Structure 1
Amino acid sequence: MLDVRRMQVLRAVVTSGSVTAAAANLGYTPSAVSQQVAALEKQAGIALLERVGRGVQPTAAGRLLTEHAALISKNVAEAETALADLKAGRTGRLEIRYFATAGASLVAPALVRLRREHPGVRVDLKLSDPGDPLPDVEHARADLALVVRPREQHREGVRLVHLLDDAYRAVLPAGHRLASKRVLDLTDLADEPWVGSEPPGPCLEPVLDACAAAGFSPDFVVESEDYATAQGFVAAGLGVGLMPRMGLRNRHPDVVVRKVSRPEPVRAIYAAVREISLAQPAVLGLLEALREAAAE
């Protein structure tokens, strides 16, 4: 295998026109330069220089290796520039996983800020509903994912950053007997038929846990995995429901929304990010933008 460092020494000799001039430019002794060229000729198995008067000129093989040495030097310089841009957050690519209700509330405003501060960074977004995006982060298929209260708080190489607590609200038909109350005890809904709006998983668990703490299990008569559809079922009088505030941004005109207490169900939303990705300015910028969006 040819030694790249020796190829650069050969290039210096060819461009300088002599071993002595190359040695002066490189800060070597002439004998050290001659030794490097001789060792490269041994590796190549062919003469690379020939004497012409007081100087030297490359053979065909010498010109070939000199041209490749120049390309290598150019590629290394480009790689160093690209690496510096990546480290500074001027370029790069981020793989992001998110769930539907976090899209408009958190992801969209965060990306506006990220693109303003890191315009050269490409962001690839993928909706994770209804799957669990944590394995994608853990196995380096994604740099960051938005998740809801994972039961496993520790994943190898993954940091969980708390963004916000999203409280659930009671959703009732507009003419419901409880609609006149501003705040409902959760037990007020114990004997009601329920419209489910969550698939099994971390978004349904806060509802079931809160109902269990209040001493009952909800009677789901309609199942839906979409907040807009669930609101339509509630508006039609098929039942009541609990839905997170972030899922109620587009409210059906024929439902009323009331705060719930004793207890108030809450889903905790986190950003799951690869520990190694925290060295990237763009990832840190996105985390800060998500925190800002969550605070608003």
Structure 2
Amino acid sequence: MWDLNRLRVWRAVVATGSVVDAARSLNFTPATVSQHITTLQKSLGVPLYRRSGRGIEITEFGKRLAEESGEVFASVTKLDDLVESFRSVSRPRMRIAAFTSFNARLLPGIIESVARDHPNRRFDIQLNEPAKVRRSHCLIEIRSEVPQEGEIHLPEMTRVPLFDDDYRVVVSERHEFAGLDSVPFKDLEDQPWVDYDLWSGPTSKVVDLACAAAGFERRNFAASEDDFAALALVSSDLAITVLPRLSTLQLPPGLVAVGLTDPVPMRRVVMHVRERDAHLPHVRAFVTAAEAVVAAHLDRTAP
């Protein structure tokens, strides 16, 4: 009867009060959250919620279920910690989840600093974008946020903003934009685009909001979950794409990144630290190193 993942989703719905807010917290789509809670309700045979306008009204049973199940997840966490302690006796692990460009550009410098003072530590690095579920048991999560949508706070994690990352248009070196310092966003309206985010995550939402602000919808020539395939199409001068600056620092040959104006799309890069471990020396070292590496990155890439 009990599916812990669906139960976790339901607790997020109750905690946030809406399917949309729960989806944002869990990095799911609202449709996925709705499917999970509908399936959970059917399996239990007891109403968890009622439709109320465009939202839902949580039943008394639904509230009690979310409240009482807290002990279940506390017990599961203890069991996970027990297993992990025996797995890691010889070499303690530090689990980190982040998105690809952060892992490639900034994480090595952070880990180098931490490893210098904690040489016996093993670093497990996971991707959390475009995955639709939170990575479990991570000490650190690095995520993108859409500034216009407000702050995202993950359960039992402390939110630490790192930096704002502006976007640039990436084109073939043969493209008409290639020799320019910057391009008004409106000038992208008639261009064919490559969409590199099939899951409509935060990175892509920032672009959609910029398109709306400029008064148009992008015309997608192709879509790919593979960054290399997307950039290959751009390199062939078949389309353009718009990427955060961090993703454009080491482009393949034949590609050029050009600044954008009116508006300048911007995402926020945020670090989440597991609260119960924030006092540990290696975790404090990671936070300090992350802030130092980000500061150096911003100095190097300042206009």
Q: How would you bin the TM-score normalised by the shorter chain?
A: 0.5 to 0.7
Q: CA deviation at 1:248?
A: 1.9
Change (3 A) 1:201 1:266: same
Please give the alpha-carbon distance, in whole angstroms, between the structure 2 residues aligned to 1:189 and 1:247.
19
Larger Rg: 1
For 1:283, what is the secondary structure of its paired residue? helix
In the other structure, the counterpart of 1:115 is 115
| Unmatched runs of 5 consecutive residues or more in structure 1 | 1-90
Please give the alpha-carbon distance, in whole angstroms, between the structure 2 residues aligned to 1:224 and 1:96.
26
**Contact 1:113/1:289 (8 A) holds in 2:** yes
Q: CA deviation at 1:153?
A: 1.8
For 2:125, what is the secondary structure of its paired residue? strand
Task: Kindly provide the amino acid, as one letter, of the partner of residue 274 in structure 2.
Answer: R
Alignment of 1:236-247 (within 5 A): 236-247=236-247
Q: Which runs of 4+ in 1 moved over 6 A?
A: none
Q: CA deviation at 1:92?
A: 4.4
Q: CA deviation at 1:132?
A: 4.4
**Contact 1:228/1:252 (8 A) holds in 2:** no
1:77-128 alpha-carbon deviations (Å, 9 max, x no partner): xxxxxxxxxxxxxx84322112211112121110000000122333222223
How many residue pairs were aligned? 203
For 2:278, what is the secondary structure of its paired residue? helix
In the other structure, the counterpart of 1:182 is 181
Q: CA deviation at 1:278?
A: 1.1
Alignment of 1:147-166 (within 5 A): 147-149=143-145, 153-166=152-165
Change (3 A) 1:227 1:295: farther
In the other structure, the counterpart of 1:145 is 141
Change (3 A) 1:122 1:179: closer
1:21-70 alpha-carbon deviations (Å, 9 max, x no partner): xxxxxxxxxxxxxxxxxxxxxxxxxxxxxxxxxxxxxxxxxxxxxxxxxx
CA RMSD of aligned residues (A): 2.1
For 1:147, what is the secondary structure of its paired residue? strand
Q: CA deviation at 1:198?
A: 2.3
Please give the alpha-carbon distance, in whole angstroms, between the structure 2 residues aligned to 1:106 and 1:254.
24
**Contact 2:96/2:126 (8 A) holds in 1:** yes
**Contact 1:97/1:126 (8 A) holds in 2:** yes
Q: CA deviation at 1:191?
A: 1.1
Whether 2:203 is the aligned partner of 1:203: answer yes
For 2:101, what is the secondary structure of its paired residue? helix
**Contact 1:144/1:271 (8 A) holds in 2:** yes
In the other structure, the counterpart of 1:10 is none
Task: Kindly provide the amino acid, as one letter, of the partner of residue 217 in structure 1.
Answer: E
Change (3 A) 1:288 1:144: same
